[in-house]
C-alpha cells in the first residue's frame, strides 16, 4: 500500500539502479514496512539480505558479489565490517540498501571514513502513517488475528489513537485481549472503554 506516508520512500527504492553511488538508506519507525519494502527490492535485485548484527568483516568481500540489503544498520553493526562491505559493493558496482530507524547521519558511528560515507547517503524516509495507511494497517493487523471488524470501528479508532505503526499494533493487541477476556465481540463500546483508560 502506497500512501503519502511512504510514497517518497517507495519512489526512491524503485529508482534503483539509479541510486546515487548505488547506495540508499531506508529509514522509518519500527513496524513501518522497511523490511517489507527491502524484501521487494531484494527479490527484484536478486540481493542478499542479512541483519547488521550478523555482518562480519570476513563476510564483506563474499557478500558483495551481488546487491546487499543490510537491515537494522543503525543498531549493533560492526563498523569495520560495514565499511568493508560498502567498499566491496562499490568495487563490484552492486547496490547496497541499508535500513534503520533513524537517518544515517544520526547513527552512532565512530569510524570517520564510514561516518562520512553514511552522511552522504540519501535517506528514503517512511513517515508515520496517514489515515489511509493507518486504516489499511489496522485492517491487516485485525485480519492477521482472524478478527473481523466493521469499517465503522476503524473510523471510530482513527481520530482517537496515536498516529504510529507501533501504536496501531499495541491497540490491536489490547482490543484483542480485552475482547477475549470479556467474551465480547470487537465493537465501539469496547474500544471506547479501552481508549478512555
Task: Kindly report the average pLDDT of the chain as a whole number.
Answer: 94
Residues 50-92 pLDDT 10s: 999 999 988 888 998 999 999 999 998 999 999 999 999 999 9
In the chain, count of helices (H) and strands (E)?
A: 9, 5
The x, y and z cell numbers of residue 144, run together, are 492477521
Residues 27-44 pLDDT 10s: 999 989 999 999 999 999
**What is the structure's pLDDT at 1?**
82
Task: Reduce the DSSP state of residue 121 to 3 states and report it.
Answer: coil
Kindly state the average pLDDT of the residues 94-99: 97
Task: Reduce the DSSP state of residue 157 to 3 states and report it.
Answer: helix
Domains and CATH numbers, the chain: 7-125 (3.40.50.300), 131-196 (1.10.8.60)
Residue 107's pLDDT band (boundaries 50, 70, 90)? very high
The x, y and z cell numbers of residue 68, run together, are 546487499
Residues 154-170 pLDDT 10s: 999 999 999 999 999 99
**What is the structure's pLDDT at 196?**
87
Chain position carrying cell 560515507: 117
Task: Reduce the DSSP state of residue 48 to 3 states and report it.
Answer: strand
Residue 187 gets which letter from DSSP?
-
Amino acid at each position: 500500500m502506497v500512501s503519502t506516508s511512504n510514497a517518497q520512500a517507495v519512489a526512491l527504492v524503485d529508482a534503483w539502479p539509479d541510486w546515487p553511488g548505488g547506495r540508499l538508506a531506508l529509514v522509518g519507525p519500527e513496524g513501518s514496512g522497511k523490511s517489507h519494502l527491502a524484501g521487494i527490492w531484494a527479490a527484484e535485485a536478486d540481493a542478499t539480505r542479512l541483519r547488521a548484527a550478523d555482518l562480519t568483516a570476513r563476510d564483506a568481500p563474499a557478500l558483495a558479489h551481488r546487491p546487499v540489503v543490510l537491515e537494522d544498520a543503525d543498531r549493533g553493526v560492526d563498523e569495520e565490517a560495514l565499511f568493508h562491505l560498502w567498499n566491496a559493493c562499490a568495487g563490484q558496482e552492486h547496490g547496497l540498501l541499508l535500513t534503520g530507524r533513524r537517518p544515517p547521519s544520526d547513527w552512532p558511528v565512530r569510524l570517520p571514513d564510514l561516518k562520512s560515507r553514511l552522511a552522504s547517503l540519501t535517506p528514503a524516509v517512511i513517515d508515520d502513517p496517514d489515515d489511509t495507511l493507518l486504516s489499511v494497517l489496522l485492517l491487516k493487523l485485525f485480519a492477521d488475528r482472524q478478527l473481523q471488524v466493521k469499517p465503522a470501528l476503524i473510523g471510530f479508532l482513527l481520530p482517537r489513537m496515536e498516529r504510529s505503526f507501533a501504536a496501531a499494533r499495541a491497540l490491536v493487541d489490547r482490543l484483542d485481549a480485552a475482547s477475549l477476556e470479556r467474551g465480547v465481540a470487537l465493537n465501539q463500546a469496547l474500544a471506547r472503554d479501552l481508549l478512555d483508560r
